[in-house]
């Protein structure tokens, strides 16, 4: 030890061991549940299950690196970060990034928050169900944010559906002046089975003045007529087929191809208009995989879902469960899906 030169010891953020495994989290247990579903007669996969194994995580990275995804979700946060700083007034900020994936969007947001120099105390908690993606997110965040003083990055392997169990993320002393910002970026909010039920339950441990930021795809029509929606939404035109050799097909059908027992099966993937949604003005697009095998009846799996929203109506629905819409920014490039960033405050 005496032979080690002091200057050879790295003190940068990337060298700090800073990862938690959330209470009760079991990756193998989640994988067992996924395998049981894909070998059943059909059904619906919870979206988080698509990211569990390393091959699924790799397929996700290939998908998000594609031009279409980057055009849709490769957004800037400058105006939204300015709105957040105005609300927090320089107080220390805890950013809880739910379903962070590769962490690129969350790190971009944090960079905009600390770049002006007005905020010198920020803790970024990256939470994801996928260990490979969480590792990528933490490495990227630690390397990118190391140049900013007062920024601490922590990786949390866990399931955001179980957020109320994670007391260390939720605890804040009564006398504390810190603020908390929960994020769901990359369309995660629109993947939830029931958005209002999730927010009212999972975020019940957050306090008055805490913030919630999500990005959503806006509806292509405000009509509730299914025929009108099918004509208006690009994903549903022409039967909604998804090319079998596309990055999307590789990602959505991966668990079916890897974990189904028995002879090889043919898998066809397409978009469908889903069931009625709980938020007025919204509608759901399902990614549906039909599995065909000789001598067996076809099996149908909903492997993904995403929703489109009318932001004003979403704001009123969130107001009804105690979250006020404070900031709405329309984002996205011309010709891409219409996107919005929405910032809410707990009343």
pLDDT higher than threshold 90 for residue 319: yes
C-alpha span between 329 and 205 (Å, rounded): 27
pLDDT higher than threshold 60 for residue 8: no
- The pLDDT tens digits of the residues spanning 259-316 come to 999 888 899 999 999 999 999 999 999 999 999 998 899 999 999 999 999 999 999 9
pLDDT above 70: percentage of residues in the chain: 89
- The pLDDT tens digits of the residues spanning 53-94 come to 889 999 988 888 765 665 555 578 999 999 999 999 888 999
Residue 9's pLDDT is what? 39
Residue 71's pLDDT is what? 53
Half-sphere exposure of 254 (CA within 13 A, CB side): 22
210 CB neighbour count, 10 Å cutoff:
20
The full DSSP string for 203-254 is: TTT--TT-EEEEEEEEPS-----HHHHHHH-GGGGGGGB--TTSHHHHHHHH
Q: What is the mean pLDDT of the chain?
A: 88
Q: Report whether 132 contacts 54 (CB < 8 A).
A: yes
Mean pLDDT of 158-185: 84
28 SS3 class: helix
For the chain, the straight-line distance linking the first and the last C-alpha, in angstroms and rounded, comes to 55
pLDDT higher than threshold 50 for residue 11: no
Least confident of 110-119, 169-178, 188-197, 277-286: 169-178
CA neighbor of 217 nearest in space, from 69, 325, 340: 340
Query: Sorting pLDDT into bands at 50, 70 and 90, what band is 1?
Result: very low
Query: Which residue in the block uniquely carries the two structure tokens 């979403």?
Result: 314
pLDDT higher than threshold 70 for residue 140: yes
Q: ∠ at Cα 168 (87, 77), nearest 5°?
A: 35
Query: Sorting pLDDT into bands at 50, 70 and 90, what band is 19?
Result: confident
Residue 174's pLDDT is what? 61
Query: Which residue in the block uniquely carries the two structure tokens 């979700």?
Result: 73
Half-sphere exposure of 257 (CA within 13 A, CB side): 15
pLDDT higher than threshold 70 for residue 162: yes
Query: Sorting pLDDT into bands at 50, 70 and 90, what band is 151?
Result: very high
- The pLDDT tens digits of the residues spanning 194-252 come to 999 999 999 998 989 999 999 999 999 989 999 999 999 999 988 899 988 898 999 99
């Amino acid at each position: 030890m005496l032979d080690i030169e002091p200057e050879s010891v790295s003190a940068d953020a990337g060298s700090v061991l800073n990862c938690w495994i959330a209470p009760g989290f079991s990756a193998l247990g989640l994988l067992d549940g996924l395998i049981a579903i894909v070998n059943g007669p059909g059904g619906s996969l919870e979206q988080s299950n698509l990211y569990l194994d390393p091959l699924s995580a790799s397929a996700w990275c290939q998908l998000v690196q594609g031009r279409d995804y980057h055009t849709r979700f490769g957004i800037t946060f400058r105006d939204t970060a300015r709105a957040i700083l105005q609300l927090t007034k320089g107080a220390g900020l805890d950013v809880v990034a739910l379903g962070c994936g590769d962490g690129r969007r969350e790190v971009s947001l944090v960079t905009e928050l600390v770049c002006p120099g007005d905020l010198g105390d920020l803790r970024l908690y990256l939470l994801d169900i996928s260990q490979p993606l969480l590792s990528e997110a933490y490495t990227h965040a630690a390397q990118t944010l190391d140049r900013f003083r007062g920024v601490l990055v922590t990786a949390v392997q866990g399931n955001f559906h179980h957020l109320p169990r994670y007391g260390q993320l939720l605890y804040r002393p009564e006398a504390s002046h810190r603020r908390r910002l929960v994020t769901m970026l990359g369309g995660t909010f629109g993947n939830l089975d029931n958005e209002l039920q999730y927010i009212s339950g999972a975020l019940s441990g957050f306090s008055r003045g805490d913030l919630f930021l999500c990005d959503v795809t806006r509806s292509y029509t405000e009509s509730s007529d299914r025929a009108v929606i099918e004509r208006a939404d690009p994903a549903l035109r022409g039967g909604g087929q998804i090319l079998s050799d596309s990055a999307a097909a590789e990602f959505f059908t991966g668990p079916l191809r890897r974990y189904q027992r028995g002879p090889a099966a043919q898998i066809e993937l397409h978009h469908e208009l889903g069931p009625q949604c709980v938020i007025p003005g919204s509608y759901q697009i399902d990614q549906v995989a039909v599995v065909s095998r000789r001598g067996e009846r076809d099996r149908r799996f909903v492997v993904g879902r995403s929703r489109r929203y009318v932001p004003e109506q979403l704001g009123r629905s969130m107001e009804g469960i105690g979250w006020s819409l404070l900031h709405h920014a329309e984002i996205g490039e011309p010709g891409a899906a219409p996107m919005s960033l929405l910032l809410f405050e707990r009343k």
